[in-house]
Amino acid sequence: MRAWRLKMGYTQTELGELIGHCVFHVNAQERGAHSIAKHTLLHVALLYAIQSLPPDAPVSILQDMLTPQSVLDRRAKAQARLAKRQAKGTKRKRQSSKSGRQVPRRSSAGRQRS
């Protein structure tokens, strides 16, 4: 952790403020007196990765770095389901227009205004 902090140019106080720990805790972690939690190590690694990006890096890179993998997986599955539904919807519209049958629209008369 000390090597990353020094490469980023932060003092122990600055790093502590960024990761939500006091300077004494950061110092103890660097000395090995306190163990480093996985989330703390990931937080510091993320800070290092962000700082090592070029200034003109696209924002999407940062968003991908900050988004957990589980969220990215769920997003990909949802996009695949949506594409599948849209493909089915297009197929249905073609079939209904060929048969001359029209799909009834929902009326807004039954809605109540608040």
- Digit-by-digit pLDDT tens for the chain (114 residues) are 898 889 889 999 999 998 889 999 999 999 999 999 988 888 888 888 888 888 888 877 777 777 777 878 888 899 999 999 888 876 665 555 555 555 555 655 555 554
d(CA 40, CA 36): 6
Question: What local confidence, expressed as pLDDT, does residue 63 receive?
Answer: 73
Question: What local confidence, expressed as pLDDT, does residue 42 receive?
Answer: 85
Residue 80, token pair as written in the block: 């695949």
Question: What local confidence, expressed as pLDDT, does residue 53 receive?
Answer: 82
Residue 95, token pair as written in the block: 């079939």
Burial (CB < 10 A; 0-12, 13-18, 19+), residue 14, is middle
Question: What local confidence, expressed as pLDDT, does residue 77 receive?
Answer: 92
The secondary structure of 20-88 as a DSSP string is T--HHHHHHHHHTSSPPPHHHHHHHHHHHHHHHS-TT--HHHHHHHHS-HHHHHHHHHHHHHHHHHHHH
Question: What local confidence, expressed as pLDDT, does residue 60 receive?
Answer: 77
Contact between 26 and 12 (Cβ < 8 Å): yes
Residue 89, token pair as written in the block: 């919807």
